[in-house]
Homo-oligomer: A and B are copies of this chain.
Amino acid sequence: MQYPLPIARLIESYMKLPGIGEKTATRLAFYTLDMPQEDVEDFSKSLIQIKKDIHYCSICGNITETDPCVICRDPNRDQSTIMVVEQAKDVMAFEEMGEYDGLYHVLHGVLSPMDGIGPEEVNIKSLITRLQKSDDVKEVILALNSTSEGEATAMYIGKLIKPAGLKVTRLAAGLAVGSDIEYANSITLKRAVQGRTSL
């Protein structure tokens, strides 16, 4: 005996989500069956809505409901600085921090030759075009993850844009605030010592 078709279909859909196997998908489908009608309708609508209403900003690549996005449209933001990040979620993290009021550029990935992701697969071309078009930009902050792919991508972009005479910076590396030296890896410690600041 198979699950009734509507359940089988929902299990299949849940299984398309990352990290959800057949057992979990089945549990979720049966849970959905007992959820309030309204919650399930909201869920169903929000799935369609996210695909319909969320676009990528044609300037910076950030997710947005309007094009250009609220950050690119805001004349009060510092037009002289562009922070390059890997993904839209990183923009949220920096906006939550609240200390940065420049612009962003979202790559939607990092270079990873092993996975076949070259410069064409990430949003680098539009960054170059953007820099060529604008006279305002003075500094590009490469705020990429501190992974080998992130570092390599930063190097690559740095080499491309430095000749244009821009200031190119990257985030400070060192001990995470609240962390123990004991548990830090040696590369982090090395960078923390190299970048030490006077008290």
| Chain A interface residues (CB < 8 Å from chain B) | 1, 3-7, 9-10, 12-14, 16-19, 24, 26-33, 35, 37, 39-54, 63-65, 87-89, 91-92, 95-96
| CB contact between A89 and one of B19, B30, B43 (< 8 Å): that residue | B30
| CB contact between A54 and one of B6, B44, B63 (< 8 Å): that residue | B6
Query: So how many copies of this chain end up in the complex?
Result: 2
CB distance from A5 to the nearest CB of B (A): 7
CB–CB B40/A51 < 8 A: yes
Given A48-B41, A95-B1, check contact A89 B26 (CB 8 Å).
yes
Q: Is the interface of A mostly helix, strand, loop or mixed?
A: helix
| CB contact between A65 and one of B4, B29, B39 (< 8 Å): that residue | B4
